[in-house]
Structure 1
Amino acid sequence: MKKTLLLACICCAFCACNNVEKQASVKLQEARQAYESGDYNQAKILIDSIKILYPKAYETRKAGIGLMQEVELKEQEKTLHYLDSLLQQKQQQLDAMKSAYTFEKDVEYQRIGHYLHPSQVIEKNLHRSFLRFQVDENGLMSLTSIYCGARNIHHTAVKVSTPDGIFAQTPPSKDSYETTDLGEKIEKADYKMGEDGDVINFLYANKDKNIRVDYIGERPYSTTLTANDRKAVVSVYELAQVLSAITEIKKNIEEAKLKSDFVKKKMEERKAKEE
């Protein structure tokens, strides 16, 4: 009697396990269909649901791990294809734009060069106080406040304002210096975008307005942004958008490649264990 009862229990447990595996395998098949139709997100949701709904369906869950790796690999391949296409578009846009800029790079001292508007090269602006705009090859834009005069003002920041009183102001510069050339006092202070008190964005947004520039230092000094300087900030700003987009795309491509390589390694390890 006891043996009969034991056998009955074993049979029930076996049937229950088989039933769980069958139910889980149906869900796995749905996940595979979603994967084959390109709905990778739905495939992942279905695979994850197997672990929650059928925790004891060990064989199906094991097969689900393999399918999840296939899904993740396909996702990265799709991402790489999209990013490569986007990079080509942005690179073509850059190639069409960059001939309109002056590129400066001292290969002996600089790892990264920068672009600026031709009207703002130093040779054309000697003895002039103005705001100079540039963007490096990675898309990081910055502005330099340049002062030239008979006396030092020892400025560390600048304030820009429109005729209606709206303004933006940089924090104190982290990179500034002063020098003297044939009796002329020259001061320069750099402000990177993101650390500029939103001055660059303010100038771009108000590109069609007259802009007053106040140098903040020990002595007061003010000037105005010329028409060429307004053109320069707009031109460099738009180039910066393209360059920064290219830098971001390249970064995303590297991340996608690393993820793809990681998944491939996991697939190889799983295959080796199965063999």
Structure 2
Amino acid sequence: MKKAAFFACLCCTLFSCSNVEKKASEKLQVAREAFERGDYSEAKIQIDSIKILYPKAFETRREGIGLMRQVALGEQEKTLLYLDSMLQEKQKAVDAIKGNYVFEKDAEYQKTGNYLHPSQVIEKNLHRSYLRFQVDENGVMSMTSIYCGPYNIHHTAVKVTAPDGSFAETPAAKDSYETTDLGEKIEKADYKLGEDGNVISFLNLNKDKNIRVKYLGERPYSTTLSPNDRKAVAAVYELAQLLSSITEIKKNMEEANLKIEFIKRKIAEEEKKEAE
């Protein structure tokens, strides 16, 4: 009797295990079909459900891990294709307008060049106090407050005000310097987009308005943003958005390629183990 009961229990266990593997395999097949049609989200859901519903279906779960790697590889390759198309689109947009800017780069001292609006090249703005805008090749935009006058004001920040009273103000510049040229006092302070107290975005938003610029220093000094300077901030801001997008896309493409290499290496290692 005991032997009969033992064999009966054993048969039940084997049948149960076989049934579990069968149901798990059905889930895995659904996952494979989803993977084949490019529905990676559904494939992942089905693979994850095997682990939850059939934790003892060890063989099917092992196959599921292999399929999950294929899914991850497919996702990254799909992402890479999308990023590449986005990169081409942004690059076309840059190529269409970059001829409207002056590109400055000293090959001896600079690794990265800068784009300026033609109206703001140094040669056209000697002896003038104004806000100068530029963007480097990676899309990092910056603003320089330039003061020229008979005496120093020792400024380290600027405040810009629109006709309706709204305003923005930079924090103290991290990079500023002063010099004298033939008796003329020259001061410059630099502010990067994102570290400028929202001044650059404020100027771009109000590019069609008469903006008052107040230099914040030991002595008071104010001026008005000229029409050309308003055009410059809007034009450089537009290019900066495109260039920074390109930089971000390239960064994401590099990350996707690294993930693809990692997944392929894991797949190769598993195939090698199975062959052995």
Task: State the TM bucket, normalised to the shorter chain.
Answer: over 0.9
Q: Separation in 2 of the partners of 1:46 and 1:255?
A: 27
Q: Separation in 2 of the partners of 1:247 and 1:86?
A: 12
Provide the residue aligned with 1:261 in structure 2. 261
How far has the Cα of 1:169 moved from its partner?
A: 0.1
In the alignment, structure 1 residue 126 sits paired with structure 2 residue 130: no
Q: Separation in 2 of the partners of 1:210 and 1:102?
A: 25
2:99 aligned counterpart, secondary structure: helix
Q: Which segment is superposed worse, 1-10 or 183-192?
A: 1-10
Q: Separation in 1 of the partners of 2:232 and 2:28?
A: 59
Q: Separation in 2 of the partners of 1:174 and 1:8?
A: 82
Provide the residue aligned with 1:84 in structure 2. 84
Provide the residue aligned with 2:7 in structure 1. 7
Provide the residue aligned with 1:252 in structure 2. 252
How far has the Cα of 1:114 moved from its partner?
A: 0.8
In the alignment, structure 1 residue 187 sits paired with structure 2 residue 187: yes
Q: Separation in 2 of the partners of 1:235 and 1:50?
A: 55
Q: TM-score, normalization: structure 2?
A: 0.98
1:87-121: CA deviation from partner (whole Å, max 9, x where unpaired): 11111111111111011111111111110101001
- Aligned pairs, how many? 275
Instruction: Look up the equivalent residue of 1:234 and give its one-letter code.
Output: A
1:134 aligned counterpart, secondary structure: strand
Provide the residue aligned with 2:157 in structure 1. 157
Q: Separation in 2 of the partners of 1:79 and 1:69?
A: 15
1:127-166: CA deviation from partner (whole Å, max 9, x where unpaired): 0000000001010111000000000000000000011110
1:53-88: CA deviation from partner (whole Å, max 9, x where unpaired): 110000100110111111111111111111111111
Written as runs of structure 1 = structure 2, the 5 A alignment for 1:106-125 is 106-125=106-125
1:148 aligned counterpart, secondary structure: strand
Q: Separation in 1 of the partners of 2:274 and 2:58?
A: 15
Q: Separation in 1 of the partners of 2:160 and 2:33?
A: 60
Q: Separation in 1 of the partners of 2:50 and 2:274?
A: 21
Q: Which runs of 5+ in 2 are unaligned?
A: none
Instruction: Look up the equivalent residue of 2:188 and give its one-letter code.
Output: K
Q: Percent identity?
A: 72
Q: Which runs of 5+ in 1 are unaligned?
A: none
Q: Separation in 2 of the partners of 1:114 and 1:179?
A: 23
Instruction: Look up the equivalent residue of 1:273 and give its one-letter code.
Output: K
Instruction: Look up the equivalent residue of 1:208 and give its one-letter code.
Output: D
Q: Separation in 2 of the partners of 1:92 and 1:194?
A: 26
Provide the residue aligned with 1:216 in structure 2. 216
Q: Separation in 1 of the partners of 2:64 and 2:39?
A: 16
Provide the residue aligned with 1:178 in structure 2. 178
Q: Separation in 1 of the partners of 2:147 and 2:243?
A: 29
In the alignment, structure 1 residue 136 sits paired with structure 2 residue 136: yes
Q: Separation in 2 of the partners of 1:33 and 1:229?
A: 59
Q: Separation in 2 of the partners of 1:48 and 1:105?
A: 53
Q: Separation in 1 of the partners of 2:116 and 2:81?
A: 33
How far has the Cα of 1:4 moved from its partner?
A: 2.0
Q: Which segment is superposed worse, 123-132 or 107-116?
A: 107-116
Q: Separation in 2 of the partners of 1:107 and 1:101?
A: 18
Instruction: Look up the equivalent residue of 1:124 and give its one-letter code.
Output: K
Q: Separation in 2 of the partners of 1:162 and 1:59?
A: 70
1:30-61: CA deviation from partner (whole Å, max 9, x where unpaired): 11111111111111111111111110000100
1:266 aligned counterpart, secondary structure: helix
Written as runs of structure 1 = structure 2, the 5 A alignment for 1:100-111 is 100-111=100-111
